[in-house]
Amino acid sequence: MAELHPTLARVTERIVARSRDSRQRYLDLMAREGARHPDRNVLACSNLAHGYAAMGDDKAAIGGGKAPNLAIVTAYNDMLSAHQPYGRYPEAMKIYAREVGATAQVAGGVPAMCDGVTQGQDGMDLSLFSRDTIAMSTAIAISHEMFDGMALLGICDKIVPGLLIGALRFGHLAGIFVPSGPMPSGIGNKEKQKTRQLYAEGKVGRDELLASESASYHAPGTCTFYGTANSNQMMMEMMGLHLPGAAFVSPNTPLRSALTRAAVHQLAKISTRGSDPRPLSACIDEKAIVNAVVGLLATGGSTNHALHVPAIARAAGVLIDWSDFDELSHAVPLIARVYPNGSGDVNHFHAAGGMGYVIRELLDSGLAHDDIVTVGGASLADYAMEPVMAEKDLSWQAAPATPLDPTMLAPVSDPFLPDGGMRLLTGNLGRATIKTSAVDKERWVVEAPARVFQTQEDVAHAFKAGELDRDVVVVVRFQGPRANGMPELHKLTPPLGVLQDRGFKVALVTDGRMSGASGKVPAAIHCTPEALADVNGTSGPLAYLQDGDIVRVDADTGTLSTTADLSARVPAIAPPAAQGVGRELFAIMRAGADGAEKGGSAMLALAGL
């Protein structure tokens, strides 16, 4: 194993030092929780009887008090294609548990919204806060204290971060994520993108657009572009929370079923009653969090994780910020190109060598921590493998030594880009994230007059009216966690892409989010402080911008600034809080949310985490 890269060592040491007190408080809590109910038989007889009243033939095993009882926390619904396969998982997982003398119960379900359905719609305002709702739902599920381990069934966007945040507060137990895999590949990504832009220009109609989208999103399984959902799966591998190589195996295949069976067997083994206990609190530490960020950078993953990784880390007592991301990004090269920063999708990525290849390259270059506690191996090195079926038996073999498709995977010694492409921008407009891995180098610097908007719908209207046919920095403000829940603004990508293709210099600046599916237009996103005034009445810099102010987005120097003097201006008036689609029910989450760099969470902020 290679010596650890000095940047990786330095950043990790800094995070450890910064987190020393909070991490120790977390570990002390986990020790107390583990000691409080080391044996669920301390529960009163009435409690136990309620807990296994409906267990049928498993009553003897669970009532005996010696067999591991595994909690299944599922995000199943059949509106979300990625989660539709989970419908029958519990039935099978209970059988798999019996095979090793364990029992399993569905402890609870958590909500699972599809950002693809709500993109550009009012419901997207609930998206970020669904993460914390899922975390709290996970806590409710596990709070019955009937369990020795947690099987976490989730794939997409806010769902995996929410499940992990909730599970970490029960980190005295073992936890393992059980994925379901991506749908088969549909039409080519370039074809899909072309149709979207033609529709934005009014050159094709809704029927053609719907036909294109339906040919892309067409079957059970995760969407195949490399957005937040598939970035989640990559991170679970990098943190050792899957069985090795489980992320991108398609649903309803013998290999997928074998991996689910093996995950249940392994969870029983590493549970508190198993032969090799591995509590989740030991798995997720500073090194595992750094590995997640490294994987994100090396593969060009979703910018949404600039919010989710800090939130996950806080739940484990680990404090990480965007300066850490930025420093790591300058050391970690881009070694994977998956759409939207490449032509192939995650199925092509997996076939080319996938996560096994990526992990081995990173470890061999000293760019990942090998010495982490994983759920499925002795260290991260065991994840440089890929699962295979030999006859009817599951086994693992070494991932390809060289990429099977050099357009999708590259060695660290000859990467696609020398850095990870997720950079910190700072200046008199605040702090923001920019993803450069999908943006052509000549577009990394844009300086142009601002056009300021308060909704993405207003941007669309201005585009259709021809008002943006010039060099422009489009500013969309009052989109932060406190303002409206920080919706994704992916709907802006096609019109801004059209303007860029017309030869204009175009950039986006916003305190909102952009999807992991966003691509070629330079975007300074997650601006913090957000435009809406904080609890002390202080508005963020974007609230003072006006049309015509010169704004500079500079990914080369890491600058986000304006030449305008904002000091004498009065902040813009924020739009009133929206109602409908349940948004009024989330007012408490908006009011208590902290900044994007901390994760935009009222739940964590008010808990003192």
CA distance 599 to 226: 21
What pLDDT band is residue 526 in, cutting at 50, 70 and 90?
Answer: very high
> Which of the pair, 47 or 265, is modelled with greater confidence?
265
pLDDT at 517: 47
Please give the residue that has the higher pLDDT: either 321 or 189: 321
Distance of alpha carbon 600 from alpha carbon 596, whole angstroms: 5
Annotated binding site for [4Fe-4S] cluster: 156, 223
**pLDDT for residue 193:** 74
Distance between CA atoms of residues 514 and 526, nearest Å: 8
Is residue 2 pLDDT above 90, yes or no? no
* pLDDT bracket for residue 501 (50, 70, 90): very high
Angstrom distances, CA of residue 268 to CA of 14, 66, 208, 237, 500: 35, 12, 50, 20, 54
Most confident of 63-67, 510-514, 527-531: 527-531
Does residue 516 carry a pLDDT above 70?
no
What would the pLDDT profile of 445-462 be if each residue is shown by its tens digit?
999 999 999 999 999 999
Which DSSP category does 4 fall into?
Answer: P
Query: What per-residue confidence (pLDDT) applies to 41?
Result: 64
For 111, the token pair is 């909500």
Q: Which of 344, 405, 341, 82 is nearest to 187 (CA)?
A: 344
**Would the pLDDT of 518 be above 60?**
no
Domains contained in the chain, CATH given: 6-184+219-398 (no CATH), 422-602 (3.50.30.80)
Of the chain, the percentage scoring pLDDT greater than 90 comes to: 81
| pLDDT digits 0-9 by tens, 545-585 | 999 999 999 999 999 999 999 999 999 999 999 999 999 99
Average pLDDT for residues 429-451, to the nearest whole number? 93
Mark the binding-site residues, compressed into ranges.
156, 223
Contact 300, 438 (CB under 8 A): yes
Model's pTM, two decimal places? 0.95
CA 399 – CA 388 distance, rounded (Å): 11
Nearest to 150 by CA among 279, 283, 292, 314: 279
Residues belonging to the chain = 609
Least confident of 49-53, 225-229, 529-533: 49-53
Reading the block at residue 233, the tokens are 């799966």
Q: What is the pLDDT of residues 256-288, one digit of tens each?
A: 999 999 999 999 999 999 999 999 999 999 999
Which of the four pLDDT bands, split at 50, 70 and 90, describes residue 208?
A: confident
In sequence order, which residues have a C-beta less than 8 Å from that of residue 598 and are 6 or more positions away? 310, 311, 314, 321, 604, 605
Q: Write out pLDDT tens, residues 214-223.
A: 777 778 999 9
pLDDT above 90: residue 196: no
Res. 186: pLDDT tops 80: no
pLDDT of residue 114 exceeding 80, the answer is yes
- Which of these, 547, 485, 489, lies nearest to 516 by C-alpha position? 489
pLDDT at 204 over 90: no
The first and second tokens of residue 210, run together, are: 């719907």
